[in-house]
Structure 1
Amino acid sequence: DIRRVLADRAPTLADLTRAFAPLEAEAHRLLPRLAALRPGIGDTPLVPVPSRAGRGTVWLKTEAANASGSVKSRTAYGLVCAAVASAGSARLRLAEYSGGSLAVALSELCAQLGLDLHLVVPYGAPERLLDQLRRAGARTTTAAEGTGFLGAMDEAVRVAEREDRRLLLQHCAAVGAALHREHTGAEIIGQLSGHGVEPVALAAAVGTGGSLAGTAMALAGAWPHCRPLAVFPAEAVYGDERAPGGARRMNGTGGLGHGLRQPVLAAFPQDHFGFTDVSYPQALQAMRHLRREHAIAVSSSGAGAWLAASAEVDQGPRGRNAVAVVASRGTIEEWEHAAGS
């Protein structure tokens, strides 16, 4: 049962602050091909665009420049490094769940490393995605209808137990936050410092919360007053008490349902993050706006993060700056929805 596993493997705040570099070095020693793939991950551009009302600037951390086309290249790399280092071996059989971007990144990474991977996707995942995963050599299973993303998580637990695989469990992976703290956050600090910019806020849409938590920890070290904003879909808010549903929402985001909270965020004091909800239609409209006005393509979650960051700088004095993490350029389906809405 996924609830039992989430409780058993939930990280503490101390777990989230542990160093990633020693773990990475050990993984490289055990699996040298990981080190060879490292240059394709990270060092992504930071692109300034006006805020929604034009009173400030939002710096977009554009993660589409990663090897797999999304921020999940970082996550996949971190998860595999942690699995290899903790197992003390490069001979692994892995299982994980994903609705899209992480599945793509993991399948491509595991194919290059020769690792055996079984992925579980939610019911209704595009056939295009399943074909892509299978072409990369991953085994795939689709969760039962009506079970939402939580159903895919639950099925992945069963697959791991049944097939004696190591479940990566992204939602409890402290390594995700550690990697974003040492890599993504450090990159942003260097990039903003080069422009003499001090951000008042950092916004990121939340799937697991790893990118927000890690990046926020890094930025707090440089700018203690930088406010971290957790962006959730209005259709599935943080700690949503309702059962998981199939309503369209920002890709890769959302509350888990049944009152469950993302363990990475729950490890922090209750008032650590500001919380903002963005509906899917609002995100799609923001995608269109950024494409039309600023010639930049962003995912629905990235558009939601831009809206949240904009709200922060637009309500204060003119000329302030914020950062928004943009997971990818958006999927084919998201752009179809944006065009049709």
Structure 2
Amino acid sequence: MTAAAPARTAAGAGFEDIRRVLAARAPALSDLTAAFAPLEAEAHRLLPRLAAVRPTIGDTPLVPVPSLAGRGRVWLKTEAANASGTVKSRTAYALLCAAVARAGTPEVRLAEYSGGSLAVALADLCGLLGLDIHLVVPHGAPQRLVSALLRQGAQVSHGRPGTGFLGSMDEAVRVAEREDRRLLLQHCAAEAAAMHREHTGTEIVGRLSGYGVEPVALAAAVGTGGSLAGTAMALTAAWPHCRALAVFPAEAVYGDERAPSPTPRMNGTGGLGLGIRQPLLSAFPEGRISYTDIAYPQALHAMRHLRREHGIAVSGSGAGAWLSASAEVDQGPPGRNAVAVVAGRGTIEEWEHATAH
């Protein structure tokens, strides 16, 4: 899976700020394997309200459905049961725990970028916790998203026109430096991967072990890579032959050399553009993670299939993870099992596209 790689032109200019910060804060594999629990405990001590919201996050259902060809099962880790309705509740919680613990005080002023789900989760949690946050969304983000963030008390800015998600990342660096805020920087947040290892992955291992199931693969669509990295570490520790599948949109593959574009694709996933790679995945040795891609029409078809045949509403990225896990199960002997992380039920826009095609 290799995207076209044209020579870099002036289209690649203007993203020096986010390149600089990603390089400076890129985690090593040892950072991803560090314990999350001490950070969590210290954050709870400093800001007890974080401990109060913890029960609303995690312990989500694991639902078996047939694979695409029906030769095995794919267990869907349905993250819509989290407080904000997506897996990003976990990420937001981990980011806030780490920020408070490392600052040594709950009086933190934060900045972050997001295309949607993480912004909602962060705004919700910061509103509950009384934390000051400035969120940067891509230019052209839905007004319903911006309104929801403002209602929770977040400040909201936009990236430059024509720069997509990467533009919001770049602008967030400038916002943080200009306003003296702590940039959460989800793409380098080893604490998110560690939290997924200790919680999301452990939940999956415990449930499947109780059923006597050994999965051959784990598939998760990649935004930052934290969900995949963390759950993969937990599952491969329990079952060394379980393959970790990083699912990307065919329209924006891992390490995509092309400039950011508004081409429709699975929501919340994808290569960042201009050859920038997700640092949480780059930290892994070559061969530890396999890469696959799903085209947007395939994901929309899978969304409709899962809702029609199994009564489960999933996001485009979750549908893509199910397709990738199905491909792994269906190419082998019958009766095999795999796991797919389903980020949420899907946005209004995704379902409008799914029903229109």
2:111 maps to which of 95, 103, 117: 95
Match of 1:198 among 204, 207, 214: 214
How far, CA to CA, are the matches of 1:220 and 1:26 in structure 2? 29
Say whether 1:182 aligns with 2:198. yes
2:249 corresponds, among 220, 227, 233, to 233
Q: Which residue of 1 aligns with 2:7?
A: none
Map Cα deviations across residues 195-232 of structure 1 (whole Å, 9 max, x no partner): 11000000000000000000000001110000000000
Calculate the TM-score normalised by the size of structure 1.
1.00
Q: State the 1:123 CA deviation.
A: 1.3
Structure 1 match to 2:157: 141
Q: Which amino acid aligns with 1:172?
A: C
Determine what percentage of the aligned residue pairs are the same residue.
79
State the SS of the aligned residue for 2:245.
strand
Q: Which whole-Å deviations, capped at 9, do the CAs of 1:216-269 have from their partners, x for residues lacking one?
A: 000011100000000000010000001111111111100011111000000011
CA distance in 2, matches of 1:196, 1:291: 27
Letter in 1 for 2:317: S
Q: Which residue of 2 aligns with 1:47?
A: 63
SS in 1 for 2:324: helix
Deviations 1:6-48 (A, max 9, x none): 0000000000000000110000000000000000000000000
- Which residue is equivalent to 2:238? 222
Alpha-carbon distance in structure 2 between the residues aligned to 1:11 and 1:306: 29
Q: For residues 330 and 191 of structure 1, what CA distance do their matches in structure 2 show?
A: 25
Which ranges of structure 2 fall in alignment gaps of 5 or more residues?
1-16
Letter in 2 for 1:216: A
Match runs of 1:1-341 below 5 Å: 1-341=17-357
CA drift of 1:87 comes to: 0.3
Deviation per CA, 1:126-163, whole angstroms, max 9, x where unpaired? 11100100011101011111101110000000000011
- For 1:20 and 1:151, locate their aligned partners in 2 and report how far apart those are by CA, in whole Å: 30
Post-superposition shift, 1:183? Answer: 0.2
| Distance in structure 2 (CA, Å) of the matches to 1:245 and 1:7 | 23
Q: Please tell me the root mean square deviation across aligned C-alpha atoms, in Å.
A: 0.5
Q: Distance in 2 between matches of 1:300 and 1:55?
A: 23
Shift of residue 186 of structure 1? 0.3
Residue aligned with 2:224, SS: coil
2:272 counterpart SS class: coil
**Distance between the aligned counterparts of 2:83 and 2:55, measured in 1?**
9
Q: Secondary structure of the residue that 2:216 maps to in structure 1?
A: strand
Q: Deviations over 1:90-131 (max 9, x none)?
A: 001100000000000000000000000100001121111001
1: CA distance, partners of 2:308 / 2:161: 37
Structure 1 counterpart of 2:202, which letter?
Answer: A
**1:96 match: secondary structure:** strand
Measured in 1, the distance between the counterparts of 2:201 and 2:135 equals: 29
Residue type matched to 2:157 in 1? T
For structure 1, list consecutive stretches of 5 or more residues without a partner in the other structure.
Answer: none
Q: Quote the Cα distance in structure 1 between the aligned partners of 2:346 and 2:125.
A: 20
Aligned AA for 1:313? V
Structure 1 residue ranges, 4+ long, deviating more than 4 angstroms after superposition:
none
